[in-house]
Amino acid sequence: MQGAAVPHRVVVTGLGVVTPIGTTVPQFWDGCKRAQLGISPLDGFDVGDLKILIGAQIRDFDPKTRLKHFQRDKIILHADRYSWFAAAAADEAIKQSGLQVPFKDAYRVACIVGSGAGGLQTMETCYRDLFIHKKRATHPLTLLRFIGSSAAAHVGIEFGVKGPTFATCSACSTAAHAIGIGKDYIRHGLADIAIVGASESVINYGVMRAWQAMHVLSPEGCYPFAKKRNGTVLAEGAGILVLESMAHAKSRGAKILAELCGFGMTSDSKDMVNPDIDGPSEAMRLSLEDAELAPSDIDYLNAHGTATTINDRNETNAIKHVFGKHAYNLAVSSTKSMHGHPLGAGGGIEAVACIKAMQDNWVPPTIGLDEPDADCDLDYVPNQGRAKEVTYAMSNSFAFGGLNAVLIFGPAPA
């Protein structure tokens, strides 16, 4: 019922990903279990005078194969690469959910698919055409390709979504914010279903030059919490969840994968680049409060873990601040060590990792962690994943600008 007085419980019924270590959820999770490294030398474009020559690119994705069955969206194959990833991940998630599309009660479905950067592959091509190749015009779909809401619109068109459809943009917290907003829409009766997450594809010459200028990229690899860490590694990909009210999912006999129990978001309001401890701590605390859980209830924490010196130290201290003694009993890992840092898409991919960890009672590793930083002294599940009973899992996303978003997932309701 619209604006229902009693908050609805929100559950997850579908998962979809496209990542450098697997372009479907089963492939991605197998990659995590193999401790697969998705980072390698850049290719696919002229690296010119770049000093950073590694990234986590997706090489085994063919849109003509993955999206050939799309019927309602007539131009998806002419879209930007970030929209392709979003469409493929949404398709996987919706198929797993078993929902019929196009949706019958389409105004009760939301589609919130964000991107930290939008279609920067298209912009790179556009500027090269205009300023290097001296073409007189750009491709007629340039505008539609690069705007940050294109992925959400493409997904909405294909699956017949007529409810709230838009993008979130909050740098590396983009997907987590999208998931949290979808949760709130369902919880308060504004929607029954929400397709939520984010997609990113930014690895090109211009973007690499921009990130290189900030001196936050590693020329060697992504080593979260390690003494040797010296920066993050850019990646591309998408992570999408299908959320439903518990009542809606149960009424159609859906298989419920997990419950989205808690969401917390804050802003540091201090610095565009250097992360804080108070803001992330409060976001974690708010997510626990929202989920009505104690810190000791969390079994696994998927860290933001970018492998920058200050972020990993501050996140470690924030975890200690919130969890107290239990911080040392937590299994914590950064899957970015395997799939790189997909910017806005990170929270979606890492939410999938949390839910798979709960399903399999197995936590993914932080690879490349041979010697931890003395200031990073928690259990980061080094190098190999391990069997561990996981009832509740937390996912952290902390972005440039001090934009923090935290999700908590729990077991499927009986």
Residue 170 near residue 177 (C-beta atoms within 8 A): yes
Across-strand partners of 239? 17, 198
Q: Are strands 193-200 and 237-245 parallel, antiparallel or unpaired?
A: antiparallel
Give every CB contact of residue 102 below 8 A, 6+ residues apart in sequence. 72, 159, 160
Across-strand partners of 240? 16, 197
Percent helix, strand, coil in the chain (nearest 5)? 35, 20, 40
Give the H/E segment covering residue 291: helix 278-291
Active site residues: 172, 304, 341
Tokens standing for 203?
A: 């690895």
Give the H/E segment covering residue 408: strand 403-410
Tokens standing for 10?
A: 């929100």
Tokens standing for 370?
A: 């041979």
Render 108-142 in DSSP notation, one character per residue.
GEEEEEE-SS--HHHHHHHHIIIIIS--SS--TTH
How far apart, in whole angstroms, are the C-alpha atoms of residue 22 and residue 24? 6
How far apart, in whole angstroms, are the C-alpha atoms of residue 51 and residue 71? 43
Give every CB contact of residue 49 below 8 A, 6+ residues apart in sequence. none
Q: 3-class SS at 244? A: strand
Residue 306 near residue 171 (C-beta atoms within 8 A): no
The total of other beta-carbon atoms located within 10 Å of residue 340's CB is: 31
Residue in this structure with the two tokens 């920066």, named with its chain if needed: 231
